[in-house]
Amino acid sequence: MDYRKTIKELREKMFLSQAEFANRIGTSFATVNRWENGHHVPTYKARRQILALCKKYGIVLDKSEDNKNG
């Protein structure tokens, strides 16, 4: 999954800044910024929260990217 694209798309669909999104899922602004810039990928716990929000907001996840990004 391309977390950079997915997180940014989700955050924009929710009309949230990186800081607001971070607060919503219980992490820091810096962490969300690193995800969107491709420096890190979300933890398993964060991935579950992101997946739930994607389902809620109708964002289709591209599973073919899983092998590339961990």
At which residue do the structure tokens 């800044």 appear? 17
Single-letter amino acid code for the residue at 40: H
Q: Does position 3 have pLDDT exceeding 50, yes or no?
A: yes
pLDDT at 4: 93
Number of H helices, E strands in the chain: 5, 0
Q: What is the CATH number of domain 3-64?
A: 1.10.260
pLDDT at 21: 97
Domain residue extents for the chain: 3-64
Instruction: Please write the tens of the pLDDT for every residue from 14-70.
Output: 999 999 999 999 999 999 999 999 999 999 999 999 999 999 999 887 765 444 444
